[in-house]
Amino acid sequence: MELTKHAHACVSLRKDDATLVIDPGALTPDAAELLAVAGAVLITHEHFDHVDEPAVAAALAARPELTVHGPEAVVGRWRADHPEQVVAVADGDRFTVQGFDVAVHGAVHAEIHRDIPRCANVGYLVDGTLYHPGDAYHVPPEPVGTLLLPTSGPWTKLGEAADFVRALAPGRVVQIHEVMLSETGRQSTATFLSPPMLTEVPLTLVPDGETLTL
């Protein structure tokens, strides 16, 4: 399986000529291009930086073979027009799409502030190895080989990120959700979230557009 990092929280996975896209949001400039080639899309929650709603709607209309999976609060908006293409998922679900095995973990977005309601948020463990948590530090009850770690945003905290990595003890950690950080901020975050400081696994910084083999 190949992992390609895109801007902010979006990644694409490729295996056996199939492509799976996770969280093509409005802060991902190539979201429309990714949706044009994806076999399926996984969306963690409804916030604009994780789902570019007009781009997804256009892709569903243009490509009847495309399927979009996510919480009901996300996919329900497209069900009337595309009932066969959208699938609501929740914590504990497992399914196979485009040859990828997907387990769904978690239920709610991390708290930003007590005055801001928390929306539904799920994480996806793909092929039993790659975990995208969306906007939450929910720890799944399964081993994680590669963790996509959110490092910036109104809900994130450096200490909680470190404890999340410690709890999961993955083999590899890749930074995502970092668009709010400058290059200095990304490097500083990597220093704190790598040995010998707060975690035992180095935080890998992957430039947008580059690919890792998992």
Q: Tell me the one-letter amino acid at 37.
A: V
Beta strands in the chain (DSSP E): 2-5, 11-15, 18-22, 40-42, 67-70, 86-88, 94-97, 100-105, 123-126, 130-132, 146-150, 172-176, 203-204, 211-213
Residue range 24-83, pLDDT digits in tens: 999 999 999 999 999 999 999 999 999 999 999 999 999 999 999 999 999 999 999 999
Contacts of 106 (CB under 8 A, 6+ apart): 91, 121, 122, 123, 133, 134, 136, 138, 140
> Which pLDDT score is estimated for 89?
98
> What is the dihedral angle through the alpha carbons of 27, 30, 34, 36, rounded to the nearest 10 degrees?
120
Residue range 82-91, pLDDT digits in tens: 999 999 999 9
- Note if the pTM is more than 0.95: yes
CA dist 70 and 101 (Å) reads: 15
- Average pLDDT of the chain is 97
Task: For the beta carbon of residue 24, count every other beta carbon within 10 angstroms.
Answer: 31
Domain boundaries, the chain: 2-205
Task: For the beta carbon of residue 212, count every other beta carbon within 10 angstroms.
Answer: 16
DSSP string, 38-70: -SEEE---SSTTT--HHHHHHHHHH-TT-EEEE
Residue range 6-40, pLDDT digits in tens: 999 999 999 999 999 999 999 999 999 999 999 99
Residue range 103-150, pLDDT digits in tens: 999 999 999 999 999 999 999 999 999 999 999 999 999 999 999 999
Cβ burial of 111 (10 Å; 0-12, 13-18, 19+) is exposed
CA distances from 157 to 62, 129, 152, 188 (A): 40, 24, 8, 14
Nearest to 32 by CA among 61, 67, 59: 59
> Which pLDDT score is estimated for 187?
95
Write down the CATH number for the domain with range 2-205: 3.60.15.10
